[in-house]
A and B are shown apart, each in its own frame.
Chain A
Amino acid sequence: MAIRRILIANRGEIAVRVIRTCRSLGIETVVAVSSADRDSLPARLADRAVCIGPARSSESYLKVEAVVHAALGTKADAIHPGYGFLSERAALASACEANGVIFIGPTAAQIEAVGDKLRARDEAEAANVPVVPGGAVTSVDEAAELAARIGAPVLVKAVGGGGGRGMKRVDRLSDLRGAVELASAEAGAAFGDARVYLERYVGSGRHIEVQVLGDGNGRVIHLGERDCSVQRRYQKVIEETPAPALPAGVRKALHLAAVRFSERLRYRGAGTVEFLVDRETHEFYFLEMNARIQVEHPVTEAITGVDLVAEQIAIADGKGLRLSQDQIRFNGHAIESRINAEDPNNSFQPSPGRLTAVTWPAGEGIRVDTHIVAGSQIPPFYDSLMAKIIAHAPDRSAALSRLREAIDRTQLSGVATNLAFHRKILADAEFQTGGVDTGYVGRLLEGSVSKEARHG
């Protein structure tokens, strides 16, 4: 069956991104919007917009029935879920399957398999992919026993969590019991699943992930890795590919591990396998799989020339994998900065409001994915991502200087932004050297605070 019309169950820059590829493929788009996004750029760019509910996401973007009914009512052949919202809810994939709508993504069973972090660990082990020492615990006593075996510090993680949510670090084993009880209670309230597991805390780790595409019949290719170690409280700030300062053998082993894991699931569509890589030893461990397109996918597109959204649509349309592994070539270096409406001077609090003036950069090797134009609203109900600025160049230092220039040319008025924070990181010697760990941003911010305190 040929997909002729796609309903986009998302908002913001990713909705614009999906519309762009649909247009190039001659596919019509319907964007499902909340009442807060009626006048948004995606609503204006799509062939049609339908309002699925009020501003609160729980009443609109997270409502499976409204999204599927909107697709049926507008005679859309398929639903693209973007990232976040319903993208990794098995319920949407199942509802699509039950109603004859193509879900552009993996099967409901695959979403469930990777959404349950414990099950994903088991799958990784079965695929001969290393996991961080640890495991499931069903009681506080069991937790104490396991923690004694793996040694402090340990992380207590929620089975239903992910992306840094539902995680507690325990530095002294005497604090473990309390932490497990608290984490379990919190996880039960937040995710409806009180199960927790323990993992050894890797102190100086890098977050490196591998992009994969699978045809759903067991064939999987990778499109290289992305280094997303520049994070503030588990929120990615800057991503790049290839990962700097990584031995070729480790890079290759990461790619193969991601492919093995995805092959075992007979994964369908675009996905990302995340790893924690020890900064010193380069030992790596499976973290989780994200069963969707990622925010940072453009850096991979920049160096491979592959339109990942077009491949997602082709796979969903039954065309299978159109690329073989040896057709994937890596050209140059790409870095992405996430520009958020948030205030670095006020603990990065979101800064909703109206953009009064907007200038995005343009030029050779620069790509901007955004839904923000002058006059756009940043509603307080959703995340604060305004744009991704991606720089591509033959090598890392050229890409870095392109990105720095692009950020200097960016002007946004009306809301607070993290542009200055990006300038600070891009100008920092440690980042310029490359290969920082996930503690880097925290140290950078602490450093500036203590410096100010000294001068003050």
Chain B
Amino acid sequence: MTLTAADVAEIMKLVEESVFDELTLEVDGKKLTLRKSGVAPGADGSVQAATASTLAVAAPQSAAPAPGAAVVAPPKAPTDPNVQDVAAPLLGTFYRSPKPGAPPFVEIGATVQEDTVIAIIEVMKLMNTVRAGVHGTVTEILVNDGGLVEYGQTLLRIRKTS
């Protein structure tokens, strides 16, 4: 027997709904590997190595980025629904204070309003202010002053005040 696209789709669905994270299936010399956690296949990049005898299928990826991926993975999201991440709105250099030597905009424990400036991100000498976006208390600061931050990288976490 051979696996059709419909078969593979069906198997993917079964794995998706099962408690298992991984499935390896060999049918007629064809090998099918399904991984739930979004593990990236072919990570060594050797495209030539993909021959007719291998058939790898990755299950739809979860929100977490692939382990071992070169992309800087944001720190594990907090499980507490009252704690909110503040993500970098753009790539640039992260500054905690308005100018060198000045006190930081916020420290851990600081109370912030939605429009409180919490950092500056500099892109090619252009200063962009980053606001808290939420009313609460700063619980974590995840980036060092003067470091490069990527778009979407978590800068700090705030526990919402209800």
Binding site for B on A (CB under 8 A): 16, 19, 31, 33, 35, 38-39, 41, 43-54, 60, 65-66, 68-70, 73-74, 95, 99, 354, 356-360, 362, 368, 370, 373-375, 409, 411, 413-414
Instruction: Please name all residues of chain A whose beta carbon is closer than 8 Å to the beta carbon of B93 when the two chains form the complex.
Output: 69, 73
* A43 contacts B150, C-beta separation under 8 Å: no
B102 within 8 A of A: no
Instruction: Please name all residues of chain A whose beta carbon is closer than 8 Å to the beta carbon of B65 when the two chains form the complex.
Output: 38-39
In whole angstroms, how far apart are the Cα atoms of A60 and B150 in the complex?
A: 11
In whole angstroms, how far apart are the Cα atoms of A356 and B52 in the complex?
A: 14
In whole angstroms, how far apart are the Cα atoms of A48 and B150 in the complex?
A: 12
- Measured CB to CB, the closest approach of chain A to B44, in angstroms, equals 8
* A65 contacts B123, C-beta separation under 8 Å: yes
- Measured CB to CB, the closest approach of chain B to A210, in angstroms, equals 29
* B50 contacts A66, C-beta separation under 8 Å: no
In whole angstroms, how far apart are the Cα atoms of A48 and B57 in the complex?
A: 25
* B51 contacts A51, C-beta separation under 8 Å: no
Instruction: Please name all residues of chain A whose beta carbon is closer than 8 Å to the beta carbon of B50 when the two chains form the complex.
Output: 358-360, 373-374
Kindly identify which residue among A45, A60, A357, A368 contacts B8, using a CB–CB cutoff of 8 Å: A357
- Measured CB to CB, the closest approach of chain A to B144, in angstroms, equals 13
Q: Which residues of B (33-54) have their CB < 8 Å from a CB of A? A: 38, 40-43, 45, 47-48, 50-52
Instruction: Please name all residues of chain B whose beta carbon is closer than 8 Å to the beta carbon of A411 when the two chains form the complex.
Output: 52
Give the interface centre of B124, B148, B151 by most chain A CB atoms within 10 Å.
B151
In whole angstroms, how far apart are the Cα atoms of A47 and B153 in the complex?
A: 19
* A356 contacts B48, C-beta separation under 8 Å: no
* B52 contacts A409, C-beta separation under 8 Å: yes
**Mask: chain B, 84-98; 1 = CB below 8 Å from A; 0 = not:** 000000111100000
Instruction: Please name all residues of chain A whose beta carbon is closer than 8 Å to the beta carbon of B38 when the two chains form the complex.
Output: 39
In whole angstroms, how far apart are the Cα atoms of A275 and B68 in the complex?
A: 47
* B57 contacts A51, C-beta separation under 8 Å: no
Instruction: Please name all residues of chain B whose beta carbon is closer than 8 Å to the beta carbon of A38 when the two chains form the complex.
Output: 65, 69, 71
Instruction: Please name all residues of chain B whose beta carbon is closer than 8 Å to the beta carbon of A33 when the two chains form the complex.
Output: 71
Give the interface centre of B51, B69, B70 by most chain A CB atoms within 10 Å.
B70
Contact sample, A vs B, 24 pairs, CB 8 Å cutoff: A39-B71, A41-B45, A43-B69, A44-B45, A49-B72, A50-B148, A51-B150, A51-B153, A52-B150, A52-B151, A53-B90, A65-B126, A69-B92, A73-B148, A99-B124, A354-B60, A356-B57, A362-B48, A373-B41, A374-B41, A374-B55, A375-B56, A375-B58, A413-B8
B152 within 8 A of A: yes
Instruction: Please name all residues of chain A whose beta carbon is closer than 8 Å to the beta carbon of B108 when the two chains form the complex.
Output: none
Instruction: Please name all residues of chain B whose beta carbon is closer than 8 Å to the beta carbon of A374 when the two chains form the complex.
Output: 41-42, 50, 55-58
B82 within 8 A of A: no
Binding site for A on B (CB under 8 A): 5, 8-9, 12, 38, 40-43, 45, 47-48, 50-52, 55-58, 60-61, 65-66, 69-72, 90-93, 123-124, 126, 148, 150-153
Q: Nearest B residue to A368 by beta-carbon distance?
A: B47
Instruction: Please name all residues of chain B whose beta carbon is closer than 8 Å to the beta carbon of A39 when the two chains form the complex.
Output: 38, 40, 61, 65-66, 69, 71
- Measured CB to CB, the closest approach of chain A to B34, in angstroms, equals 10
Kindly identify which residue among B5, B123, B151, B152 contacts A357, using a CB–CB cutoff of 8 Å: B5
Q: Nearest B residue to A54 by beta-carbon distance?
A: B151
* B70 contacts A51, C-beta separation under 8 Å: no
* B56 contacts A69, C-beta separation under 8 Å: no
Q: Nearest B residue to A31 by beta-carbon distance?
A: B70
In whole angstroms, how far apart are the Cα atoms of A411 and B54 in the complex?
A: 12
Instruction: Please name all residues of chain B whose beta carbon is closer than 8 Å to the beta carbon of A66 when the two chains form the complex.
Output: 90-92, 123, 151
Instruction: Please name all residues of chain A whose beta carbon is closer than 8 Å to the beta carbon of B60 when the two chains form the complex.
Output: 354
In whole angstroms, how far apart are the Cα atoms of A356 and B5 in the complex?
A: 8
Q: Nearest A residue to B55 by beta-carbon distance?
A: A357
In whole angstroms, how far apart are the Cα atoms of A45 and B71 in the complex?
A: 10
In whole angstroms, how far apart are the Cα atoms of A360 and B93 in the complex?
A: 41
- Measured CB to CB, the closest approach of chain A to B79, in angstroms, equals 22
User: Which 5 A/B pairs are nearest by Cβ-Cβ distance?
Assistant: A375-B58, A73-B148, A373-B42, A51-B150, A65-B124
- Measured CB to CB, the closest approach of chain A to B65, in angstroms, equals 6
A375 and B41 in contact, given A38-B69, A44-B70, A54-B151 (Cβ under 8 angstroms):
yes
